[in-house]
């Protein structure tokens, strides 16, 4: 047989027996890469060429028939081998669809349902908590970390972290090309880091000896540019395999849009509750906060006093008329920044409308509120506002204070009282009538 077509048998890898294969792995990869349909077409073409060649050989007809029969049997065996090899490869390595159907569909079914119904109503923290806990159930990891690019797109910041190694990732910021997260951010596929070598090089001051395996995958905007990275860490050596990476990549593609929707929701909520000029909370946010604070004060009564401070800018309309609305806007920003700096951490200041501000003062009695007001007055008497080039002015404020249970029992009553007192402070002082004794009247 070999004497009749030695070149043909050498050129067809399907006809080469295992004993004559020098690189079985190379042949296996070749068979896995070439589509099955292409392999079958190649076998048919070779069979036709072989039949043509053999029937034109200068030998007896009986020998031709035997040769063609043997050749066709080999072609049939090659076809069977190709089909068997394809099934065996799918069984050994597993396809993405089988992995997803057995793992993702079963383990993350609750996540799929939740993301379907709440994809546009979950905040980033809630979305990450949901996703991370599901991922830790599916993959052999102890900690899940979400890195998100900053506004400059030059750094990755740890936004959220869940798991056993939280302490390693608090307030972590790395360059977009550093560490495991940076390498994943610049790439398009999952990265496995046995020994967490990449992060140990970036954080030489941190003791990461308890982390022995790491894996990260980028999060992309609709399959385009990356906006973040989700990473897993484990205390076990070689905890992640290539199958783990495939599954992690599939999960990332499903949760990427969920995170984008959560970030968009957070931005919308922030803009809906923030004054665009002063960057202070607006009236809507103020009423949410004051109602919550009043509910706490009602619950704890004497232990949680509450006062409010109503403020506006004296002569604000004159500033607009004389120097223009742009200067008036700068005056509002000036006042907002000073109020933000002067108040306690627990206090809440909001711009209500025009030049009116309201401040919620938790745990503040009427006396405490007067002290806070006095501190504000002192600063504004010393701090000058640049109203024009080489010209400054002192901005004066009008104040009105009201205390819960003393000036009203709900938000409407105390706000009304504070506003009335502020408006009275704007009125000019009443004339003083001096009465002299009658002998001196004339």
How far is Cα of residue 292 from the mean position of the Cα atoms in its chain?
28
Confidence of residue 400 (pLDDT cuts 50, 70, 90): very high
403 and 263 within one domain: no
- Element containing residue 29 per DSSP (H, E): helix 24-33
Q: Are residues 122 and 263 in the same domain?
A: yes
pLDDT digits (tens, 9 = 90+) for 209-243: 899 999 999 999 876 789 999 999 999 999 999 98
> Do residue 114 and residue 259 come from a single domain?
yes
| Mean predicted lDDT score pLDDT of the chain | 81
Please give the residue that has the higher pLDDT: either 132 or 12.
Answer: 132
Mark whether 313 and 367 lie in a shared domain.
yes
Q: How many domains does the chain have?
A: 3
Flag the least confident range among 120-124, 209-213, 433-437. Answer: 433-437
Instruction: Kindly state whether residues 223 and 361 are assigned to the same domain.
Output: no
Structure-block tokens of residue 284:
């809507």
What 3-state class would DSSP assign to 209? coil
Do residue 139 and residue 241 come from a single domain? Answer: yes
Domain-ending residue, one of 208, 243, 271: 271
Return the top range by mean pLDDT from 45-54, 158-167, 297-306.
Answer: 158-167
79 within a domain of the structure (yes/no): yes
C-alpha to C-alpha distance for 415 and 401, rounded to whole angstroms: 9
Asked if residue 431 belongs to a domain, the reply is: no
Q: Which token pair is 233?
A: 């860490």
CATH number, domain of 244, equals 3.30.450.40
Do 259 and 312 share a domain, yes or no? Answer: no
Could you list the residue range(s) of the whole structural domain that residue 197 is in?
Answer: 103-271
Using only the alpha carbons of the chain, give its radius of gyration: 38
Is residue 440 domain-resident? no
Domain assignment of residue 276, yes or no: no
Same domain, yes or no, for 61 and 130?
no
Q: State whether 258 and 302 are in the same domain.
A: no
User: Are 352 and 266 contained in the same domain?
Assistant: no
CATH of the domain at 322: 3.30.70.270
- Determine the Cα–Cα distance for residues 349 and 124; give it in Å rounded to an integer: 25
pLDDT at 120: 65
359 and 387 fall within a common domain:
yes
Question: Which of 1-15, 194-208, 333-347, 428-442 has the least mean pLDDT?
Answer: 1-15
- Look at residue 145 and tell me whether its pLDDT is greater than 50: yes
> 43 near 78, Cβ under 8 Å?
yes
């Amino acid at each position: 047989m070999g004497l009749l077509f030695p070149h043909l048998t050498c050129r067809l890898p399907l006809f080469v027996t295992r004993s004559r294969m020098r690189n079985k792995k190379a042949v296996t990869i070749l068979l896995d890469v070439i589509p099955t349909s292409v392999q079958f077409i190649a076998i048919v073409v070779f069979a036709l060429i072989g039949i043509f060649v053999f029937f034109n050989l200068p030998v007896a007809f009986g020998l031709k028939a035997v040769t063609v029969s043997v050749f066709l049997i080999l072609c049939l065996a090659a076809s069977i081998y190709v089909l068997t090899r394809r099934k065996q490869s799918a069984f050994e390595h597993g396809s993405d669809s089988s992995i997803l159907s057995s793992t993702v569909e079963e383990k993350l079914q609750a996540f799929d349902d939740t993301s379907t119904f709440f994809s546009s109503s979950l905040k980033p923290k809630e979305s990450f908590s949901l996703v991370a806990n599901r991922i830790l159930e599916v993959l052999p990891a102890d900690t899940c970390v979400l890195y998100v690019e900053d506004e400059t797109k030059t750094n990755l910041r740890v936004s959220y972290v869940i798991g056993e190694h939280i302490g390693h990732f608090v307030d972590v910021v790395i360059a977009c090309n550093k560490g495991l997260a940076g390498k994943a951010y610049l790439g398009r596929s999952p990265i496995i880091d046995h020994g967490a070598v990449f992060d140990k090089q970036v954080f030489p001051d941190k003791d990461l000896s308890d982390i022995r395996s790491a894996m990260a995958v980028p999060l992309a905007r609709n399959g385009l540019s990356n906006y973040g990275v989700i990473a897993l860490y484990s205390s076990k050596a070689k905890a992640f395999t290539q199958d783990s990476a495939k599954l992690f990549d599939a999960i990332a593609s499903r949760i990427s849009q969920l995170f984008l929707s959560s970030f968009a929701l957070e931005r919308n909520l922030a803009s809906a509750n923030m004054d665009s000029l002063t960057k202070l909370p607006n009236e809507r946010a103020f009423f949410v906060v004051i109602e919550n604070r009043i509910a706490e004060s009602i619950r704890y009564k004497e232990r949680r006093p509450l006062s409010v401070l109503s403020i506006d800018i004296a002569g604000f309309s004159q500033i607009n008329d004389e120097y223009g609305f742009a200067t008036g806007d700068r005056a509002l920003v000036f006042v907002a920044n000073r109020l933000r700096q002067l108040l306690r951490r627990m206090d809440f200041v909001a711009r209500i409308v025009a030049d009116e501000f309201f401040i919620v003062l938790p745990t503040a009695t009427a006396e405490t509120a007067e002290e806070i007001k006095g501190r504000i007055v002192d600063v504004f008497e010393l701090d000058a506002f640049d109203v024009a080039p080489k010209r400054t002015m002192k901005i004066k404020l009008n104040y009105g204070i009201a205390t819960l249970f003393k000036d009203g029992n709900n938000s409407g009553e105390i706000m009304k009282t504070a506003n009335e007192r502020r408006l009275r402070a704007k009125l000019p002082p009443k004339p003083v009538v001096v009465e002299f004794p009658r002998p001196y009247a004339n």
